[in-house]
Structure formats: structure tokens, C-alpha cells
Amino acid sequence: MTTLQCRTVDSPVGPLTLAGRDGRLMHLRMVDQTYEPSRAGWEVDDTVFSDAVDQLAAYFAGERTEFDLELDMVGTDFQRRVWAALRTIPYGQTCSYGEIARQIGSPGASRAVGLANGHNPIGIIVPCHRVIGANGSLTGYGGGLDRKRTLLALEKSRTTPALFN
């Protein structure tokens, strides 16, 4: 069994647990997240993933719109294609499951995109919260719809130009 190093940090959306190995992030988990990997072999080390912690703090402060981290995303080829597409959704914007399906060359696979989105192991950094229903509605989010609303509102507030300067 491979040992993963992990640490938990506070954030505006609750505690976040980061885990990975060899300096590569494999998981970013929120409390009560629906998809929960086995934590067998996870060892707490509060010194790991300092770059990720700093970048997350800057994101929540509205000072960072993209993440520059080494990720190790384990999944099927289809899941990895979906997760790569998620990283192309610009900060403060949203797109639908169907748009992601078309982007990865699988039109009509919006439900499969939804499943892959739900199994995204590195939420926030791989921004699955930016995916919405075709009609513009907020749909499922592993971290809960309240967190999804919070993340989208945070990003929107940082991208909406001020009416008066």
C-alpha cells in the first residue's frame, strides 16, 4: 500500500484535507463530501503542500484565479479528459455538463460527465463547482450546493466590474 501524506487546513468553506505523495496533490476533500476515498495509508504531516495551502488562501482572498500545482489525478481516461476540461473553465464563469461533453468529443455524454465531475478528487483546484445544468440551474456538487453557491459567488464578486470607481 502506498502511503499518502495529508494535512487539513481551515477555509471559508470549512476544513479542507489535502493528500498526495511525492509533492503531487491527489486529493482535496471537504467535510461531508459525497465521494470519499479510503484514507487507509494516509499519514498526517502538517508541513506538506505548503504551495497548495498558500495558493488556496490567495484564491479565497480573491488574489488568485488559477492554480499552479503538480497534480496526480487517478481515474479512467474519460474521467481525466473531463477533469482536464474543467481546468479550462475560466474563473468566474460556468458551463454546462453538455458543453464539457462536446468539448471532450463525447456529445451526448453529459450524464457521464456529471458522474466524472462528481468523482473529481481535487475540488476547487480542479473547478467542478463551475459546472451547472443546461438550464443554468445549480445541480449536484460533492461538497454540497451551499458550498457551490459560495464558491461561485466568491468568483463572481471578484470578476464583476465596479459600477463606480
The per-residue pLDDT for range 55-109, each reduced to its tens digit, is: 999 999 999 999 999 999 999 999 999 999 999 999 999 999 999 999 999 999 9
Contact 11, 55 (CB under 8 A): no
Q: Identity (one letter) of the amino acid at 58?
A: A
Paired with 20 in beta bridges are 5, 25
Q: What residue has cell string 462536446?
A: 102
List strand residue ranges (DSSP E) for 62-146, in order: 95-96, 131-132
Model confidence at 1, pLDDT cuts 50, 70, 90, reads low
Model confidence at 140, pLDDT cuts 50, 70, 90, reads confident
Contact 6, 18 (CB under 8 A): yes
Alpha carbon distance 93, 114 (integer Å): 18
Contact 2, 39 (CB under 8 A): no
Residues marked active site are found at 128
The architecture in CATH of the region 77-159 reads Orthogonal Bundle (1.10)
Topology of 5-61 in CATH? Double Stranded RNA Binding Domain (3.30.160)
**Average pLDDT score over residue span 28-48:** 85
Phi/psi at 60 (nearest 5 deg)? -65, -25
CA dist 155 to 9, 75, 105, 151, 152, Å?
20, 27, 28, 6, 5
**Average pLDDT score over residue span 157-162:** 67
Residue 161 has pLDDT above 80, yes or no: no
**Average pLDDT score over residue span 40-47:** 90
Report pLDDT for 129.
Answer: 96
Alpha carbon distance 37, 49 (integer Å): 19
Domain boundaries, the chain: 5-61, 77-159
**Average pLDDT score over residue span 15-41:** 88
Contact 14, 31 (CB under 8 A): yes
Residue 163 has pLDDT above 60, yes or no: no
Report pLDDT for 34.
Answer: 74
* Crossing angle of the two packed helices 77-86 and 110-118, in degrees rounded to 10: 80
Q: CA gyration radius for the chain?
A: 16
Alpha carbon distance 23, 32 (integer Å): 25
Length of the chain equals 165
**Average pLDDT score over residue span 115-132:** 95
